[in-house]
Amino acid sequence: MVNNSFIKFKMVKIKLTTKIKKTVLQLKKLNPDKIILFGSYAKNQQDENSDIDILFIKEKFKERRIIDRIHSIYKKITVSGADIIPYTPMEIQQRMGFNDFFLQDALKEGIVLYEKKN
């Protein structure tokens, strides 16, 4: 499991758009461990051209390569305008160990929209 000392989530209230709600509902059917909103919507800085940035965390994927995971996810959802980044908890921990600034920012600014109950 992920070392939670790396992950600190920003506690803010945002207005969830219909598009975000639909995206989360569809992604929940894929049995994730956690769905995190990051980027402009999480920072409440979105405009009409903003896409929805989602970190999709799941313990195991059928696909080994991230690009294959992305394609698989997009085949199963109907919402457009969402950028979905699929990682395992172990991959997140490894990338944090490499000081992945993109992922650090996503986790720091991110808002957990769904978390599987154990």
pTM equals: 0.84
With respect to residue 13, please indicate whether it lies within any of the assigned structural domains.
Answer: no
CA distance 1 to 97: 14
Q: What is the pLDDT of residues 70-86, one digit of tens each?
A: 999 999 999 888 999 99
Whole-number percent of the chain with pLDDT over 90: 69
Average pLDDT, stretch 95-102? 93
With respect to residue 103, please indicate whether it lies within any of the assigned structural domains.
Answer: yes
Domain count, the chain: 1
116 CB-near residues (< 8 Å, 6+ apart):
31, 32, 33, 34
With respect to residue 72, please indicate whether it lies within any of the assigned structural domains.
Answer: yes
CATH number of the domain to which 30 belongs: 3.30.460.10
Residue 35: enclosing H or E segment and its boundaries?
strand 34-38
Q: What is the pLDDT of residues 39-62, one digit of tens each?
A: 999 988 888 888 999 999 999 999
Contact 114, 32 (CB under 8 A): yes
With respect to residue 40, please indicate whether it lies within any of the assigned structural domains.
Answer: yes
With respect to residue 11, please indicate whether it lies within any of the assigned structural domains.
Answer: no
Give the residue numbers spanning the domain of 22: 18-115
With respect to residue 106, please indicate whether it lies within any of the assigned structural domains.
Answer: yes
Q: What is the pLDDT of residues 10-38, one digit of tens each?
A: 444 455 678 898 999 999 999 999 999 99
Residue 94 tokens, joined: 């490894």
With respect to residue 3, please indicate whether it lies within any of the assigned structural domains.
Answer: no
Residue 34 has a CB neighbour count (10 Å cut-off) of 19
